[in-house]
Amino acid sequence: MKKQEIIEITTPEFPKDDPSLKVNPDEVYFERSKQIKNYHSLGNHLDQDEKRTQISKDLSDFDKKMIDLLHQYHFLNLFSLAVTSSDNYQIDKLSIDKYVEQLVKQYESMKKANNSLKRKKIVTDEMVDEIFYQLSDLHVYYHDLIDDLDKYKKSYYPNLKMASYTFCNEKTYNELIEYYDYVVEEINKYHSLQDTYDYICYNTGELITKTISGLISFMKKGLTKNYVAKFSMEYFLENEIIMYYDYPKWINLFSKINYVIKKSDKAIFEDKNFISNYQELEKKYIIVLIYNESQTMRKS
């Protein structure tokens, strides 16, 4: 992302007609000026009360944009654990990390400034204008970062599978952060992603069985007998004795579990006998997804 800043240059004691001192404004930050032109033009037609209303509305609308951006960023950050590192990748990732951090800081600063503005008994035109035009810069920064994230994704994550998208799309970006921390901890424990994946495939049978049993037990409380009969242990597992559970079996298992959950009462997520096992199983599943993506990336 290009750094955006305004540089004021003073040139005292130089001849005013010196051609070398003349600067064409259209050549300075040309792309940036095009993006903020409409917003600045809007400011010229609003009075101060209308600007304050526009600031509050824009910040409210910006909440959703920030949530979506942070979800995309933390989704890619989670699957960065699948990427085979290179110098170019590390440089690009560090840049994205820095720009996201800066955007969050700017956004939080804008919200505090607006809240402060609302509490002030005396508000000057200068206070309102400063926040109004800072907000225009925030929009520019956001759109630039969206473009950078898209290029970053196409460069390093071009073929992520639908299973990875589907699982993560149903999570908040805070949950994705928690998954990232968990996966890093597990990789450190078992020394590599490969060893972590192998351990899960060989040692998760009991957890899988307990999770499914909890789901079936809950369904028996609220669904018809015919419906429960359809979703027996045999529906979920080919064999109750699990020796090795690899990627295709995990995909199949979670497809069935999620289908049944959607058919069940939402109170299932308040059932302690089920939810603790299910959440632990999800953590294992995300490692399986990351490992599989790593193998795909190596082959491409």
- Whether residue 288 lies inside any domain: the answer is yes
113 contacts 134 by C-beta, under 8 angstroms? yes
Q: Which of 105, 124, 158 is the last residue of a domain?
A: 158
- pLDDT at 171 (0 to 100): 97
Q: Which of 158, 188, 211 is the last residue of a domain?
A: 158
- Whether residue 167 lies inside any domain: the answer is no
- Cα gap 159→84, rounded to integer Å: 14
**Which phi and psi angles does 124 have, rounded to 5°?**
-90, 160
CATH number for position 77: 1.20.120
Is 148 in the same domain as 32? yes
250 contacts 285 by C-beta, under 8 angstroms? yes
> Span 90-114, mean pLDDT?
94
Is 228 in the same domain as 263? yes
Range of weakest confidence among 64-78, 140-154, 166-180, 229-243: 229-243
- Whether residue 6 lies inside any domain: the answer is no
- Cα gap 251→292, rounded to integer Å: 11
Number of domains in the chain: 2
% pLDDT > 90, the chain: 54
- Whether residue 221 lies inside any domain: the answer is yes
- Cα gap 156→151, rounded to integer Å: 9
Is 149 in the same domain as 227? no
**Element (H or E) spanning 201, and its range?**
helix 193-203
82 contacts 291 by C-beta, under 8 angstroms? yes
- E strands within the chain? none
Is 127 in the same domain as 181? no
Is 154 in the same domain as 178? no
Is 52 in the same domain as 122? yes
What DSSP string runs through 56-97?
HHHHHHHHHHHHHHHHHHHHHHHHGGGS---HHHHHHHHHHH
Q: Which of 126, 158, 190 is the last residue of a domain?
A: 158
What DSSP string runs through 87-145?
HHHHHHHHHHHHHHHHHHHHHHHHHHHHHHHHH-SS--HHHHHHHHHHHHHHHHHHHHH
Whole-Å CA distances, 255 to 122, 164, 249, 260: 59, 12, 10, 9
For residue 213, how many other CB atoms are within 10 A of its CB?
A: 16
Is 177 in the same domain as 154? no
Average pLDDT, the chain: 83
Angle among Cα 137, 23, 38 to the nearest 5 degrees reads: 30
Is 177 in the same domain as 292? yes
- Whether residue 87 lies inside any domain: the answer is yes
> Span 171-182, mean pLDDT?
98
> Span 75-104, mean pLDDT?
95
| pLDDT higher than 80, residue 25 | no
CA-based Rg of the chain, rounded to a whole angstrom?
Answer: 27
- pLDDT at 223 (0 to 100): 57
- Whether residue 14 lies inside any domain: the answer is no
| pLDDT higher than 50, residue 284 | yes
- pLDDT at 267 (0 to 100): 79
More confident residue, 123 or 37: 123
Q: Exposed e or buried b for every residue in 1-16, given b needs 16+ CB within 10 A?
A: eeeeeeeeeeeeeeee
Query: pTM of the predicted model, to two decimals?
Result: 0.81
| pLDDT band of 44, cuts 50, 70, 90 | low
The tokens describing 248, both together, are 């295709």
Characterise 7 by phi-psi region: left (phi > 0), alpha (psi -120 to 50), beta (else): beta
Is 132 in the same domain as 202? no
Characterise 191 by phi-psi region: left (phi > 0), alpha (psi -120 to 50), beta (else): left
Is 219 in the same domain as 271? yes
- pLDDT at 23 (0 to 100): 31
- Cα gap 107→176, rounded to integer Å: 21
**Which phi and psi angles does 160 have, rounded to 5°?**
-65, 140
% pLDDT > 70, the chain: 82
Is 198 in the same domain as 124? no
Is 219 in the same domain as 283? yes
- Whether residue 290 lies inside any domain: the answer is yes
The tokens describing 95, both together, are 């840049």
264 contacts 211 by C-beta, under 8 angstroms? no
- Whether residue 128 lies inside any domain: the answer is yes
- pLDDT at 14 (0 to 100): 34
**Structural domain harbouring 75:** 26-158
| pLDDT band of 53, cuts 50, 70, 90 | confident
